[in-house]
Amino acid sequence: MKVGVTYNIKKQGSGVRGQGSEKALPSDFFAEWDDEDTIEAVRVALAKRHDVVLIEADEVAYEKLKASKPDIVFNIAEGLWGQSRESQIPAMLDMLRIPYTGSGPLALAICLDKARAKELLSYHGISTPLFSVISDLGFRISDLKSIIANRKSLPFPLIVKPLYEGSSKGIRNNSVVNGEDELKERVAWVIAEYRQPALIEEFLEGREFTVAMIGNSEDLKMLPVVEINYSSLPAGVNPIYSYEAKWIWDTPDNPLEIFQCPADIGSKLKKDIGDICSNAFRILDIKDWCRIDIRLDSKERPYILELNPLPGILPDPKSNSCFPKAARAAGMDYHKLINAVLDAACKRYGIKT
């Protein structure tokens, strides 16, 4: 089979940010894009069974896809600009009638807008932290009403995040706020730095897990659950997986023991986590794979923080990437993981491999 790989490659250093409007990009702008090693590892994994063609998801991606006509595309492209950027390549592929791995444009756009995803989850009775979206710097505290649960107001502590980012972009140690002044400062920072609304959520202080799911419908599987172990973070910092925790304090040369996989959880909690994750996967119409972030409330009940239908897949075990880590705990090396995702997509489309 001819398998295309669509990707966006991370630009090295801030010096490449260019001129004009790009000058004002936030310092973590490229954090979600893939590095060369990841793209190469995906290529090698697929090349064991297929002819692989790499297609950078740039402004001429459509022409390249149209010309090379792969039988299927392994899509890891995060997209170029805008609130629905992850949908760009899947929408082009739908138009060209080329099958691809992972979710479609609608599911990707909904999951990137965390509030939209939470609205849908709430509608279907799936637990997610109470929240409010603020796009106006002149907001008053009395405006902070949750749009769910009887418009109950949001109690401190709260966490403030950009509405449509990932890879811990815009989530800093000081994103957890305990009073009005801190809240206003963080909301203003998110709106100014990321040029998008701020999502304010009740802060859940319980254990945190991230759950890798692979497959579809009756073949959907939960890989061993990963727990985020906050005791490995520097003393005194907030118990969150912040930008600092992901990209600064944890490096391949000095890895934090931040993830435990499999998590040490009893069968009841494991079942509750499995149920909430598979329900969310189905409700949001996710395909083939997804990593779902979960946090517990004080009564040990799981809540969905967010869904990552284009999960990070750094190949080097030292890079502490959760999806490959969960796969390794299930006995799947990187090659098997990538091919399992491709096979899930092929099965869904009825393509024989």
Ligand X SMILES: Nc1ncnc2c1ncn2[C@@H]1O[C@H](COP(=O)(O)OP(=O)(O)O)[C@@H](O)[C@H]1O
Site residues (vs ligand X, CB under 6 A)? 129, 159, 161, 165-169, 171, 201, 203-204, 208, 240-241, 293, 295, 305-306
Select the binding partner of residue 286 from ligand X, Mg ion, none (C-beta < 5 to 8 A, by kind). none
Q: Coil, strand, or helix at residue 194?
A: helix
What are the structure tokens assigned to 123, written together?
A: 């509608």
Q: Coil, strand, or helix at residue 175?
A: helix
Strand spans (E) along 102-167: 131-134, 158-162
β-pairing, 208-214 vs 198-202, is: unpaired
**Which residues are 242's β-sheet partners?**
none
From 60-68, 251-259, 292-300, 342-350, give the range in contact with Mg ion by CB under 5 A: 292-300
Q: At what angle do helices 105-112 and 88-96 cross, to 10 degrees?
A: 170
CB-closest chain residue to ligand X: 241
Give the dihedral of Cα atoms 195, 196, 199, 200; nearest 10 deg: 40
Select the binding partner of residue 302 from ligand X, Mg ion, none (C-beta < 5 to 8 A, by kind). none
Q: Whole-number minimum distance, CB 158 to ligand X, in Å?
A: 8
Select the binding partner of residue 324 from Mg ion, ligand X, none (C-beta < 5 to 8 A, by kind). none
| 52 versus 112: smaller Cβ distance to Mg ion | 112
Nearest to 62 by CA among 18, 94, 102, 28: 94
| 134 versus 226: smaller Cβ distance to Mg ion | 226
| 250 versus 293: smaller Cβ distance to ligand X | 293
Residue 293 near Mg ion by CB under 5 A: yes
Nearest to 65 by CA among 91, 32, 44: 91
Q: Whole-number minimum distance, CB 50 to ligand X, in Å?
A: 31
| 99 versus 206: smaller Cβ distance to ligand X | 206
Give how far Cα 91 sits from Cα of 7, 95, 274, Å.
Answer: 15, 6, 30
Q: Whole-number minimum distance, CB 307 to Mg ion, in Å?
A: 9
**Residues 83 and 34 sit within 8 Å (Cβ to Cβ):** no
Select the binding partner of residue 295 from Mg ion, ligand X, none (C-beta < 5 to 8 A, by kind). ligand X
Report the 10 Å Cβ neighbour count for 195. Answer: 11
Q: Whole-number minimum distance, CB 113 to ligand X, in Å?
A: 11
Select the binding partner of residue 42 from ligand X, Mg ion, none (C-beta < 5 to 8 A, by kind). none
Select the binding partner of residue 172 from Mg ion, ligand X, none (C-beta < 5 to 8 A, by kind). none
Q: Which residue has the tokens 């491999």?
A: 353
Q: Whole-number minimum distance, CB 33 to Mg ion, in Å?
A: 16
Binding residues for Mg ion, rule: CB under 5 A, are 293
